Structure 1
Amino acid sequence: MFDYKNVSDIKSQTFALSDTITRQFSRTFELYVQDIEKLSVSIIGDSIIQNSLIDHYHSHDPVEQNEIELTINNRLFTHLQSRSQLQSIYLFTLDHNAYFVSKASGPKVSFHLEDEIWYPRTAEIMTNKFVLLPVCEENTGGDRREKVISFVRNINRIPYRDTLAYMKININVNVINDMLVMSDANEFERSMRVLIVTDQGDIVYDDKDELTGNTHSGLGKSAFQKSPHSGELTWMGQRYLYTIEHSDYTKWNTVILTPKDFLLSKQKKSQYILALAGLLATVLIAFVSYLLSHQITIPLRNLMKKMTRVEQGDFSQYMSVTGNHEISRLSRIYNNMLDSISRLINEVYESKLAEKNAQLSALQAQINPHFLYNTLNIMKSISRVRGIEEVAEMSESLAELFQYSMKNLQHPVPLQEELNHIENYMNIQHHRFGSRFELHVSVPEHLLHASVLKLTIQPLIENAIIHGLGNMKSGGRIDLRAIQNGSSFVIEVSDNGKGMDKEQLEGLRSALQHAAHSSRRIQDQPYGIGLSNIRERIRLFYGAEYGMELESSQGGGTIVRITLPFRDHDSWNKEEGSDEYISGGG
């Protein structure tokens, strides 16, 4: 099982590494061919070459033909000499003539278009812009011959697009060696064989320089049909792992072969390492067992006994600590644990006492609000009996306002209830301030049942009266509006009071943004901590996407907007499993 897993891991690593190299090498070769295509475009677009080719067809004078040949060859040489990897450039005319320049020395020979092996493929050249021809040999002078790859395309007359000639650029195959960067220090890469192969099996390039130029190598499309990107194959009597990358641009395949014998050698090394590791582990286990039996087991048994007594409730079972070895460190941790347990027991006991005292205090404190609420109702009744209607109205509004405030703040209510609470508050303020200001409410009927947190709107009205309209003797106006916006709705409270300047507004916004760490800064702002309280309640109950916005200008009033999720209170209340909220009044 281990051998299988080991071989599988090595195969996975080999495929991953060779796949990366295959794709990188294929892309590098594509970029180089693209550069050659750009060179061919610059030759086609050379006006001197264009005009010379046209003159070639119109001239029959040998002297003029020699001048044309000299002109074309000079232009071709200009393009050739700047690229060391190019071997030669040919221009084949349609009337059995050829112009060429080559880096090889030697006499010029005649060439004919019909003699070229690619001549039957001219229709393919017209369709695909160019074709790449596998390796052939070119005479470079004397007995020297260089292996080259040919880039062939047609030359169109500009701007008429009719064919003037065909171009062949021969590229020295050794240029591919510079594209392949392999590390000799890497055992994987040393075992790999990199090939560029046509679909027919012709080997364009072999990094070992043994098969470059070979035809019908057995590596055509049929060799890779079972697994198009990676797998195993038998080639030249040997088993290989392969990865292949086909280039739609060059129409060639980049193949990396790794001998399967390499995996077997890696497996044998792993077996040797495993055997050695097993032997060392056996010796180490024997040594550790000796230490455990004589130096660790006894202190651990002692610790287990003490822990058993601690489990029974005896927290005085401390371990003696000597030295700085692992058992001593464990003993210190154990002693610290006992201290922590004792401390937590005391804290829990004190917390229970504090909680009990707080419950008693809460019950005692509840007497005073009930007493005050009942007193206000008595004042209302007496005032009505004696005909003091204003006192009766104020007592009734204050009693209802107080009763509303006694309910649980953490529960939402219908917007209608919050508006009723605001109406009671405004009744009291009108008795206090008279007609110095007015409240205008604009709320669509369908929003009256929207769910809102209690006491989120009335403090905004109070802030507008105290801070916005406090110095106005008459003409004060407060507008309360509610607008639905998709799945949320906005409540806006605006006044026409004195407003705030830019510095005050930015200070208040910043303080609200960092309310958790800047309570003193909020208290210094004109609007106090009420806005911070509302903003934090909304954020904690509904989430960070809901909250509060402020707008104000000096002498132009203030606008406060709060955004809440739109929920029908009755439907939401049933979903939460609570048909009514607990009232604090009595």
Structure 2
Amino acid sequence: MRYWNDMLLKTKMFVAFSVVFLLTVLLACTILYVKNVNDTKDQTYALSSTITKQFSRTVELYIHEMEAMSVTIFGDPLVQRNLLDHYETDNAVEQNQIELSLSSRLYTLIHPQPKVQSIYLFTLDKYAYYVSRSSGPKLTDSLEGEAWYTGKAYDYRSKFLLLPTALEDVSHADSPKVISFVRSINRIPSRTPIAFMKININVNVFEDMLVQSDNNEMEKNMRVFILSDEGRVVYDNRHELTAGTLPALSMPMLKKGKSSELTWNGAKYLYSSERSAYTGWNTVVLIPNEYLLAQIKRTQLILILVGLAAVLLIAVVSYILSHHITIPLHNLMKKMNRVEQGDFSQRMEVKGNNEIGRLSRIYNDMLGSISRLINEAYQSRLAEKDAQLSALQAQINPHFLYNTLNIMKSISRVKGIEEVAEMSESLAELFQYSMKNLQHPVALEDELEHIRCYMNIQKHRFFDRFELQSDIPEELLQASILKLTIQPLIENAIIHGLGKKKSGGVIGLRVRCTQGILLIEVTDNGRGIDGQKQQELRSQLRAPILSTGVDQETRGIGLQNIQQRIQLFYGEPYGIGLMSIPGEGTTVKLEIPYLLPADGKGRDTHEYISGGG
């Protein structure tokens, strides 16, 4: 590990890339090989499953057709009448006429079906009528000679039978192999069994149903069987096991999965099976694995060649790539050493938008930020000293004015000029209130006292042109608010709302507490604010907090100043809301948290507790 840590980055990258890429290629080749084998099997399963389902469905449709033909025979009035006449006569001539009539009728029905070999009608009194396409002799004379018949006619009244493939004439080996469709013929409308029909179908009918392509290697090698649940072979596409049994295979094994693998006669097969609930037969398709092996071997050879070529290419690419990455890093290290010595002019050349380019850009931006912060820190120290001098000067002026106003008040009272004394006293209290720390919260009643002094002065200026109407619950007088947050709103209402109103002006001050929020509303019935001006004011209220002194001085302690002070102290969810209707008036809403002084005195303290809503 120590040797690895001491290696150069270029060497580490070359070794690491080569090993990782080699393992990746080997893993990818293995996965591709396995996936190719699995995909080939899945495709084979899918194709064989499709062939199985299509073939099974085609067989079902043909048996449906045979059932439809049997229903035609069942319901044919001529057949019904002749069968009933059979039971009512013993005359040989009449019996012969019945046989001719039925044969003619059955031949008419068998003619459109080229694969129907013969049709038998068995009466319940041991007699058989028949018609055969080959015009051969009658192979059975009565129902008793049929192995499938149990002797109870009512057992077959509502169903049909499909008999496995067998020779039509067991006495002749070259007789055609047939499957038999058997059902009862019931009397209409009583549904009483009066006869049975057996339709013998040439097994070669399945040959036409199974459409195979000579160009498809899989279809040329696959085996297709139709099996009964007992394992009898109804059909074999190679005609080797038709009418026999399937050695070494059992239906329970085939039913374990509709698509799987098995070994038969020493060879491995992929198989798919489909059981028809309608016919009761099982369609099985066996596909030998041999035809898959050639494709898999070709794929294996291609993957080996591709893997070797990829390993060689990766080794070359990893060396070039590692060399390309380490050169810019080496240059960056040299420039950082120069910066460490105090040379902030060192910059990287940015090439492209890749990782190295972004790193170079970030490095350049970092140096620019460091230089800017150093300059800002220097300027901030200068500004701080200027602010301290301004603050000292600002403290001197209010104290001087406050002392001068008290002298004016004393002289006015001595000389009997009470109005001047009263104005001087109110103005002195205004200055005394504003000289305290502006960011220290006070009780609501202190802010109201400040408003009272302000209104005393305004009454001497405007006389009875407006009045202040207050609606403040007594329990809210100790609520904590910032200084100079309500009085500027009253001032705005007088100057901007009622300034041109000659009489009847009303300023409303309403305070409420709801769900822990102290809501203060200042309303006036003045001229209101037009829409454009409202938009400008709302934009100013949403503007970022001011950080310098010049702009703030020009704005004074207006709406934006109050908004910024509230959000700095309480947080951004609180502040000022504005609503105005031109010609009717303006409402300014102030929302702050409802807090009470923690010490119970409520005067100029930083400790507060939350009040109830």
Question: TM-score scaled by structure 1?
Answer: 0.51
Q: CA 1:283/1:238 → structure 2, altered by over 3 Å: closer, same or farther?
A: closer
Amino acid at match of 2:275: H
Residue 258 of structure 1: aligned partner: 287
For the residues of structure 2 that align with 1:405 and 1:100, how far apart are their CA atoms?
Answer: 114
Q: CA 1:67/1:304 → structure 2, altered by over 3 Å: closer, same or farther?
A: farther
Q: Deviations over 1:310-342 (max 9, x none)?
A: 99988832255xxxxxxxxx6666436655787
Residue 274 of structure 2: aligned partner: 245
Residue 131 of structure 1: aligned partner: 161
- SS in structure 1 of the partner of residue 471 of structure 2: helix
| Counterpart mapping for 1:52-131 below 5 A | 52-105=82-135, 111-120=141-150, 126=156, 129-131=159-161
For the residues of structure 1 that align with 2:184 and 2:113, how far apart are their CA atoms?
Answer: 21
- Give the number of the structure whose alpha-carbon radius of gyration is greater: 2
Residue 477 of structure 1: aligned partner: none
Query: Is 1:279 aligned to 2:320, yes or no?
Result: no
| Counterpart mapping for 1:55-454 below 5 A | 55-105=85-135, 111-120=141-150, 126=156, 129-138=159-168, 145-215=175-245, 217-221=247-251, 224=254, 227=256, 229=258, 231-262=260-291, 265-266=293-294, 270-271=296-297, 273-283=299-309, 285-286=311-312, 289-290=315-316, 293=319, 296-306=321-331, 316-319=347-350, 334-335=356-357, 338-339=360-361, 395-396=471-472
Contact 1:376/1:395, CA 8 A, preserved across alignment: no
For the residues of structure 2 that align with 1:161 and 1:276, how far apart are their CA atoms?
Answer: 70
For the residues of structure 2 that align with 1:170 and 1:213, how far apart are their CA atoms?
Answer: 14
Amino acid at match of 2:185: I
For the residues of structure 2 that align with 1:179 and 1:404, how far apart are their CA atoms?
Answer: 95
Q: Deviations over 1:390-431 (max 9, x none)?
A: x9996127998xx9999xxxxxxxxxxxxxxxxxxxxxxxx9
Residue 574 of structure 1: aligned partner: none
Cα deviation for residue 193 of structure 1 reads: 1.0
Contact 2:181/2:199, CA 8 A, preserved across alignment: yes
Cα deviation for residue 167 of structure 1 reads: 0.9
Q: CA 1:162/1:124 → structure 2, altered by over 3 Å: closer, same or farther?
A: closer
- SS in structure 1 of the partner of residue 178 of structure 2: strand
Contact 2:168/2:178, CA 8 A, preserved across alignment: yes
For the residues of structure 2 that align with 1:223 and 1:299, how far apart are their CA atoms?
Answer: 63
Residue 56 of structure 2: aligned partner: 26
> 159-168 or 112-121: which moved more?
112-121
For the residues of structure 2 that align with 1:200 and 1:585, how far apart are their CA atoms?
Answer: 87
For the residues of structure 1 that align with 2:124 and 2:218, how far apart are their CA atoms?
Answer: 51
Contact 2:515/2:612, CA 8 A, preserved across alignment: no
Residue 516 of structure 1: aligned partner: none
Q: Which has the higher contact order (CA 8 A, sep 6+)?
A: 2
For the residues of structure 1 that align with 2:166 and 2:119, how far apart are their CA atoms?
Answer: 15
Cα deviation for residue 128 of structure 1 reads: 6.8
Q: CA 1:453/1:396 → structure 2, altered by over 3 Å: closer, same or farther?
A: closer
For the residues of structure 1 that align with 2:327 and 2:473, how far apart are their CA atoms?
Answer: 74
Tell me the matched-pair count: 383
Amino acid at match of 1:172: N
Contact 2:167/2:173, CA 8 A, preserved across alignment: no
Contact 2:167/2:176, CA 8 A, preserved across alignment: yes
Contact 1:125/1:153, CA 8 A, preserved across alignment: no
- SS in structure 2 of the partner of residue 245 of structure 1: strand
For the residues of structure 1 that align with 2:474 and 2:114, how far apart are their CA atoms?
Answer: 98
Q: Percent identity?
A: 39
- SS in structure 2 of the partner of residue 119 of structure 1: coil
Q: CA 1:332/1:46 → structure 2, altered by over 3 Å: closer, same or farther?
A: same
Query: Tell me, which stretches of 5 or more residues in structure 1 are unaligned?
Result: 321-329, 354-365, 384-390, 407-430, 433-450, 456-580
Amino acid at match of 1:316: R
Cα deviation for residue 305 of structure 1 reads: 2.7
Cα deviation for residue 93 of structure 1 reads: 1.1
CA RMSD of aligned residues (A): 5.4
Cα deviation for residue 21 of structure 1 reads: 3.5
Question: TM-score scaled by structure 2?
Answer: 0.49
- SS in structure 2 of the partner of residue 166 of structure 1: strand
For the residues of structure 2 that align with 1:260 and 1:124, how far apart are their CA atoms?
Answer: 50
For the residues of structure 1 that align with 2:609 and 2:79, how far apart are their CA atoms?
Answer: 97
Q: CA 1:338/1:108 → structure 2, altered by over 3 Å: closer, same or farther?
A: same
Contact 1:201/1:218, CA 8 A, preserved across alignment: no
Residue 551 of structure 2: aligned partner: none
For the residues of structure 2 that align with 1:186 and 1:222, how far apart are their CA atoms?
Answer: 30
For the residues of structure 1 that align with 2:102 and 2:363, how far apart are their CA atoms?
Answer: 97
Contact 1:133/1:151, CA 8 A, preserved across alignment: yes
Query: Tell me, which stretches of 5 or more residues in structure 2 are unaligned?
Result: 1-26, 377-437, 456-466, 483-505, 508-513, 519-607
Cα deviation for residue 204 of structure 1 reads: 0.7
| Counterpart mapping for 1:486-501 below 5 A | none
Cα deviation for residue 228 of structure 1 reads: 5.4
Cα deviation for residue 166 of structure 1 reads: 0.6
Contact 2:181/2:198, CA 8 A, preserved across alignment: yes
| Counterpart mapping for 1:442-521 below 5 A | none
